[in-house]
Amino acid sequence: MGKYLTFVLFFVISFTVCKLPAFAQTMRTGPDGYVRCGTQDYIRYLEKSDTLFVAKLAAAEHSIRTEENKEAALHRNTRTDKTIYTLPLVIHILWSDSAERLPLWQVESQINVLNRDYNRLNSDTVNTPSVFKQVAASMNIIFCLAQRDPNGNPTTGVVYKQVPPSTQFTDNDAMKFPSLGGDTAWDVTKYLNVWVCNLAGGLLGYSVFPFLPLNAHFGSVVLYSAFGDTSLPGGLLANYNLGRTTTHEIGHLLDLHHPWADDYGLCPWNNGGSSDSIPDIPPEGNSQSDGYGAGWGPTFGCPPFPYTDNCTSSFPGIMFENYMEYTNDACMNIFSRDQALRAWGTINGPLASLLTSDACTPLSVDNLNISEEVAIYPNPSAGKFNIEWTMINGDWSVEAFDVLSRKICSQYQLKDKSCIVDLSGYPNGVYFIRIINGNSITCKKVVVTR
């Protein structure tokens, strides 16, 4: 027991010294007047309001490192993982006027951005410099809007709550609690919660790193005018209109840190300097005031490649294209392999309960009645799934849905004992097969991976 306490104290001390800036150093705006991310200041807020919070961070960090080491050993050669992780999202939209009440299509556009970015399916991968393409990775994470609410009822995965006119929230978590004018988090062990609202002070968003045990503070907050994809109609901020604010903030929920490690321009080898603990991302501590660096660590705008700073002063420079950077949305296009390892360690560590959540599974009239009679194979597959059953009599039908509950194909009035569902024309990811026989319905999850 003594050794365990010593170990935990070591993590608490290490986490405090190496990962968090001094409380007096508050978040700062970039050259365009926006605060790209308020995560570090939010963590300080939680530390101040909960004396055990640092220990909670350390407990999660220990779990993450343990699982990350397992993943590293498992994927030592390729560092790729064929496992597809499905994470359910619930989006809480707090609105006071029509501009803030984002329509469902805009929410869906953001989910599509997440699924592209986290699986390296984004079209702007062509902008990744060749030297960094060597470490680029898909995280094999599929995000879906929840299909079941905490009471087991069907849902779109989007909650709308009207707030008083001209309401602006700050990083004090009021948006997460009804008593403060916000909306209650859904069970954080089954859902990733994202609050979309009007934030004050030019703040685009903030999150928190995993901590144990999780509670209602765990989730991401995003400014409504930086949520979604500008390729669809909508009035989003010019430099933050491709959905990358949410990509960035959810990265923090998966224990991904800013590349400059929030040590305000220092390098890992400097006294007081720290690291993001991601080996394949070059060290960063931008102390330049050249329009791209603001002198205190991060990089803004969209610099020309290669861009060097005081921590990486030679080619290829810093990885300013990384989603955890402060650059413009259009300049971001990469997660690295070691970031993927960290995310997998987090999902299999403090967020493991999400893997057993049924929140992404659409409700059925009778979800178990014919389930044991149906076999689907191979699963995962490159796109074609054989469906066979044993005791189903009469006509039956099969329908396939994507994670946004959109029907993508169907076959009706089938009489044979088998059929093939072909999803080979659709992207990698999770899909749901719904099989109907009379009044009995069952849903089964399938995975397309190539």
- Cis (ω within 30 of 0) for the bond into 213? yes
CA dihedral 44, 25, 263, 323 (to 10 degrees): 70
Is the Cβ–Cβ distance between 427 and 390 less than 8 Å?
Answer: no
The three-class DSSP label of residue 99 is: coil
Q: Where are the alpha helices (DSSP H) in 90-150?
A: 104-117, 130-133
**68 is known as an active-site residue:** no
Please, where are the H alpha helices in 75-196? 104-117, 130-133
Judge whether residue 233 has pLDDT over 70.
Answer: no
Q: What percent of the chain has pLDDT over 90?
A: 64
Query: How confident is the model over 433-444, as pLDDT tens digits?
Result: 888 776 566 778
* CA-based nearest residue to 430, from 177, 69, 144: 144
pLDDT of res. 74: 81
Q: Which two tokens stand for residue 10?
A: 């070591």
Mean pLDDT across the chain = 87
- 25-34, 229-238, 247-256, range with greatest mean pLDDT: 247-256
CA–CA–CA angle 221, 447, 231 (5° rounding): 45
CB 324 within 8 A of CB 258: yes
Question: What are the strands of the beta sheet with 384-389, ordered from one edge?
Answer: 374-377, 384-389, 418-422
Output the DSSP codes for 192-238. Answer: EEEEEE-BSTTB-EE-----SS--TT-SEEEEGGGSS-TTSSS---T
Quote the tokens at residue 111.
């989910």
Instruction: Give the pLDDT confidence score for residue 447 in this predicted structure.
Output: 87
pLDDT over 90 at 390, yes or no: no
**pTM confidence score:** 0.82
Distance (Å) of CA 405 to CA 154, 360, 399, 421:
11, 9, 11, 17
202: alpha, beta or left, given left = phi > 0 and alpha = psi -120 to 50? Answer: left
| pLDDT confidence band for 9 (50 / 70 / 90) | very low
Among the ranges 61-75, 310-324, 385-399, which has the highest mean pLDDT value?
A: 310-324
Kindly give, in sequence order, each residue whose CB lies less than 8 Å from that of residue 353, ignoring residues fewer than 6 positions away.
189, 190
| pLDDT above 90 (res 12) | no
| Angstrom distance (rounded) from CA 332 to CA 314 | 21
- What is the spatial distance between Cα 43 and Cα 63, in angstroms, rounded to a whole number? 19
Look up tokens 């010019």; give the residue. Answer: 238
- What is the pLDDT, as a whole number, of residue 10? 39
The Cα angle at residue 139 between residues 135 and 142, in degrees rounded to 5? 155
Residue boundaries of the structural domains of the chain: 2-356, 371-448
Confidence band of 162 (pLDDT split at 50, 70, 90): very high
Distance CA 432, CA 144 (A): 11
**Amino acid 442: pLDDT:** 75
338-360: string of b/e by CB count within 10 Å (b at 16+)?
A: bbbbbbbbbbbbbbeebeebbbb
Contact residues for 171 (Cβ-Cβ < 8 A; gap 6+): 38, 41, 42, 45, 203, 206, 221
Identify whether the C-beta of residue 434 lies closer than 8 Å to the C-beta of residue 398. yes
> Does the domain formed by 2-356 have CATH 3.30.360.10?
no
Sole residue written with tokens 């997460």: 176
pLDDT tens, residue by residue, 238-254? 999 999 999 999 999 99
Residues near 3 by beta carbon (within 8 Å), at least 6 away in sequence: none
The better pLDDT of the pair 235, 77 is held by 235
Residue 208: C-alpha distances to residues 115, 165, 237, 270, 415 (Å): 21, 28, 24, 26, 52
Please name the amino acid found at residue 72. A
**Active-site choice (249, 284, 321, 325):** 249
CA 240 from centre of chain: 17
- Residue type for position 179: S
pLDDT band of residue 101 (cuts 50, 70, 90) is: very high
pLDDT (mean) for 268-272: 92
| CA–CA gap between residue 92 and residue 269 (Å, rounded) | 42
Confidence of residue 231 (pLDDT cuts 50, 70, 90): low
Q: Answer yes or no: CATH 2.60.40.3080 is held by domain 371-448.
A: yes
Choice between 98 and 367, residue whose per-residue pLDDT is larger: 98
- At a CB cut-off of 8 Å and minimum separation 6, what does 393 contact? 437
Poorest-pLDDT segment among 92-101, 283-292, 389-398: 389-398
List pLDDT tens digits, range 179-224.
999 999 999 999 999 999 999 999 999 999 999 999 999 999 999 9
What does the alpha-carbon distance between residue 409 and residue 422 come to, in Å, rounded to a whole number?
A: 9
